[in-house]
Structure 1
Amino acid sequence: MTSSSLTRNAPSASASRGSRSSQNLPFFGVLAVGIAGFAALSSLHKKQDTTPAQKAAPLVECSAAVLSDDHLTLEADGEVIPSRQIRLAAQVAGRIVEKNEVCQAGHFVTEGTKLLTIDPRDYDLEVRRIQEMLKQTEVSIEEVDVERRNTEQLLKLAETDLDLQRRELARYEQLRERQAVSQSALDNSQRARIQAENTMQTLSNQIRLLDTRRGRHISEKDRLAVELERAVLDRKRCDIVAPIDGIITSDLVEQDDFVQLGNLLLHMEDTSQVEVRFDLRFDQLRWIWESAASRRTTSTSTAQPISVSRGASYELPQLPIEVAIEVDGSRFVWDATLSRYDGAQLNTATRTVPCIAIVDKPNQGRWHGVLDQGVNASDNITSSGLSGPPALLRGSFVTVHIEVPANQPLVQVPVTALRPGNKIWIVRDNKLDWLDVKVAQAHADHVDLFANYSRVHAGDQVVTSPLVMAVKGMEVRTTSTASDEAAANDDVAGETDRVERHADSLPDSTKPREIER
């Protein structure tokens, strides 16, 4: 190629480069705008934290300790038992000629209701026989009385005759001194006086004999009167009547059965009052003993020494208590009285003390609480129309509630907060603290602690959730702190969503686009 041709081509080459450069100017402008938009979007997003994440403190559930009231409620499970069980037996022998329809197991009978009748004919005859013998004895006594009156009349005549014989003998003696009568006449007079004395003595002896005979007849009459009373009593015993108001638990005989003296006829239970047998632990009895001791202290002057009898050491204070039973989720309560120990010994199996409470009105239970229908706590079961037990029945399982005054301040914590060995975890300044506590009373859902001994105060955050590998002073998060952190995270997430929505709303010209090559 010649130099002239090169010279001609040089301007054309430079012109083509200039035209190509002018064509690339829009491309670089778009690229610059895209880079600027990308930088703007990047500045809107939160800069990612490249520092390694620290492990969060364990999360625990806490509950605030609350101050308990000044009374402590002791609870125990018990069983209703009858206060009296009566076994009626035949007191006379004979055939049962009548059985009342109510004389069957399960029936309630009132006092004096005739239940059974034993054939009374033999006993009626015995009563009549003794009555006739008693009449004969009375006639014999009358005969003796008549004979005694007759003898007394004869005795008066004998006394008169004796006086005459004595005066006549005195005259004969005077005449004999003057030799006016013979000795034979004097002897006859003495003989007549002796006969008169003999007659009088005989009549006196006869009167005494009649008195003795009358006494024997009177004794016989008294004996027959006793036999008549016994016969009448046996006749009454032919009618078996209910001795109390109660329920027949079992009837052992039927009509036309022959029973001997002492044969069991039926069993009855007294329903006027029932007893509740329950066991108390020694820690529960301690509150009752302290309550009784405090009452004795307040009722006795401080200047006088307090003396307790030996019998009082084996007796329980007569405290008012409540007996509750649950029926289909409903709770019914009866008033009762703490009565006595059930024997002077411990239950060897459970190491508890058996006790007895008396329910004086087992048929007057009441609803405990307020129903949605508007039934108040004082409403009676019958008057309120509730479908509850009309009375405490034998064998019912009940819960006994004994309210005693607490002589020390108590705090209440959930039962899940109590750890083995009577220890609890509390959170102070987001750190765990380990405390030894002394339990005053344990319930199904909470525990009462002695506040002074346990160093637990009302408002302390007590850990109720399980802890694994926990040590004293370890930093923890409570459910309230975790809730605050979760709320903060929700706020951050909401801000991020707002930024992303703002970025989506930018014009397309500011968004980065793919470069076409």
Structure 2
Amino acid sequence: MKKRQKWFLLSAVVVLAGGGTLTARLVRNPREAVRAIPVDRGRIVRTIRLEKKEKTFLISAYGTVRPRNEVKVVAEVSGRVIHRSDGFRNGGFVKKGDTLFEINPVDSKLAVVRRRAEIAQFRADIGKLVQEEINYRADLAIARRHLGVVQGELRRNQRLGKQNVISAEKIDISRQAVLRQEREVQRIRNLLALAAPNLDQKKAALDVIRARLEEANLNLIRTRIVAPFDARVRNTNLAVGNYIREGNTVGTIYDPAVLEVPVSIPVEEARWAFRRTGAARFPKTQDEVQQYFPRAKIYWSRFGQRFEWAGRVTLVGAGLDEATRAFTLVIEVPEPTKKWTPGYHPPLTVGMFVTVGIEGVTLPDVYTIPRSALHPGDKIYLIQDGALDIRTVQVIRKGQDEVVFRNGARDGDRLILSAIPAAVRGMKLRPAKEDADGAVHKHARGAKGVLP
């Protein structure tokens, strides 16, 4: 124990003595401090090499998926529902010609029976009128012959009266017989004259009853509501036993084979959305308009993934929307369930709020740079021989994430991407070592609306 204490004390004395000697030497021989003068090598900036490329403009828009063909199911007759298809429920599927629901047809069947009975009655009445007309014509012929007889008798009596063979009273009796027979002929003529109008009236009434019979048959058919195409039920609240009135809407069905997305495009963007062709006149038919319609992609982001479907612009609004002053384009998506994979890729569904990327005009030999690299006054910052150079460019299109221009730079120029506060032409700069030599268009591919 005592040996350890001696060694500790001896070591401490040696260290203190050495430190004191070193301190004394430094105090007796001080050294002058060397001042380092900083060298201004310039601010470090990120740059990218410019290169002209072909550029296809991509227009982004947003919209809600809706059916292209949608039908409201409306009751065409009143009555109580006695049957409803199992597929006719929210989200259900029905085939073309399937009965969606059926209304009690008893009243419609009775109406058909009544109309048929009325037709039979009118046919009998028409037959009776036809026969009466025949009888009137026969009676008229007889009455005319009888009139000729009494007229001949009157003439004979008048001759005998001149010879004083018969009395004047007998001549008067003959005249009265002629008058009676003339009145009878006129009566039959009147009946015959009324026969044709009565017959026409009955025929017209028969036509009305036949039309009512057709209506009754249609109402009988309308008690069964059938699907006009293969459809999916969007909504319905119909149940067996419900009493519905004519004109009531009981549900909505749509064709799931083709969906569409209407989107609004500002006028500034719409000019880049349509193909440029050599057409000599304004299109006047849908087929002529088709040549201008571009391709499109529909995107839906969920679950940390981005799903897409192929589409095409198929319709353009007839004018600007009065509220937004924008064009309305309709993007049609055929086979919206084609990419569906359980657990991996959902089907495009009505009601989805989606992003639409429209492939528009393609321009050759243009520069595409990030939106942040364009400064006020349409200026860009370049690095030339280690110094800042400021150029004004001719901007073709300013997007949300990128800018396209044609003049004001040359291939190989290095565009500055870093922010430079209080930028002055000629200030010293140096590029960051990690800058890539690739063209700037590669850095702009992540812009919204890009079609892969």
Mapped pair 1:276 → 2:261: yes
Instruction: Report the counterpart of residue 334 of structure 1 in structure 2.
Output: 311
Separation in 1, partners of 2:103, 2:244: 9
Query: Which structure has greater helix proportion?
Result: 1
Which amino acid in structure 2 is aligned with residue 299 of structure 1?
A
Aligned partners of 1:285, 1:51: CA distance in 2, in Å?
A: 61
Match of 1:394 among 326, 345, 351: 351
Range moving further from structure 2, 172-181 or 157-166: 172-181
Is residue 2:361 matched to residue 1:404? yes
TM-score by length of 1: 0.66
Q: Please identify which structure carries the higher strand content.
A: 2
CA distance in 1, matches of 2:166, 2:346: 116
Structure 1 residue 476 corresponds to structure 2 residue 432 = no
Match of 1:154 in 2: 139
Q: Against the structure 1 CA distance between its residues 118 and 102, is the aligned structure 2 distance closer, same or farther, given a 3 Å change threshold?
A: same
Q: TM-score, normalised by structure 2?
A: 0.75
Amino acid at match of 1:363: E
CA distance in 2 between partners of 1:209 and 1:180 (Å) = 45
Change (3 A) 1:148 1:358: farther
One-letter amino acid of the structure 1 residue matched with residue 39 of structure 2: Q
Query: Partners of 2:266 and 2:365 in 1: how far apart?
Result: 21
CA shift for structure 1 position 356: 2.8
Pairing partner for 1:163 from 133, 138, 148? 148
Measure, in 2, the Cα distance between the counterparts of 1:481 and 1:395.
Answer: 42
CA gap of 1:176–1:404, structure 2 versus 1, over 3 A, is farther
> Quick one: distance in 2 between partners of 1:286 and 1:343?
13
1:241 is the counterpart of 2:222: no
Report how far residue 345 of structure 1 moved.
1.4
Q: Give % identity.
A: 22
C-alpha change, 1:70 and 1:173, in structure 2 (3 Å) is farther
Q: Aligned pair in 2 of structure 1 residues 392, 259: CA closer, same or farther (>3 Å)?
A: closer
**Aligned-partner residue type, residue 95 of structure 1:** R
Residue 353 of structure 1: aligned partner: 326
CA deviation after TM superposition for structure 1 residue 448, in Å: 1.3
Q: Map residues 72-111 of structure 1 onto 2, 5 A cutoff.
A: 72-111=57-96
**Structure 1 segments unaligned to the other structure (5+ residues):** 1-48, 301-306, 310-314, 366-379, 484-517
2:387 is equivalent to residue 431 of structure 1: yes
Tell me the CA shift for residue 104 of structure 1: 0.6
Q: What is the CA-CA distance between 1:160 and the residue it aligns to?
A: 2.2
Measured in 2, the distance between the counterparts of 1:114 and 1:227 equals 25
Partner of 1:319: 293
- Mapped pair 1:142 → 2:127: yes
Q: Distance in 2 between matches of 1:190 and 1:482?
A: 137
Matched to 1:462, the amino acid is: L
Most deviating of 434-443 and 252-261: 434-443
Code of the aligned partner of 2:233: I
Q: 2:335 aligns with which of 363, 384, 392?
A: 363
Q: Deviations over 1:433-467 (max 9, x none)?
A: 12334543345653212x23xx1333321111232
Deviations 1:210-246 (A, max 9, x none): 3333233223322322322222222222112224443
Distance 1:386 1:435 in 2: 52
The alignment partner of 1:101 has SS state of coil
Residue pairs, 1:476-495, within 5 angstroms: 476-479=429-432
TM-superposed deviation, 1:198: 1.8
- Tell me if the contact between 2:48 and 2:435 (Cα under 8 Å) persists in the aligned partners: no
Cα offset, 1:117, TM superposition: 0.9
Q: More displaced, 63-72 or 91-100?
A: 63-72
Between structure 1 and structure 2, the one with the greater Rg is 1
Count the aligned residue pairs: 396
Displacement of 1:85 after TM fit? Answer: 4.0
Amino acid at match of 1:88: V
Q: Counterparts of 1:85 and 1:438 in 2: how far apart (Å)? A: 47
Residue pairs, 1:5-16, within 5 angstroms: none
Deviation digits for residues 153-210 of structure 1 (CA, Å, limit 9, x no counterpart): 1112122223334444444555556666554444343333323322221112112233
* Aligned equivalents of 2:402, 2:95: Cα separation in 1: 46
How far 1:255 moved relative to its partner? 0.9
Higher RCO (Cα < 8 Å, 6 or more apart): 2
Does the CA contact (< 8 Å) of 1:124 and 1:235 recur in 2? yes
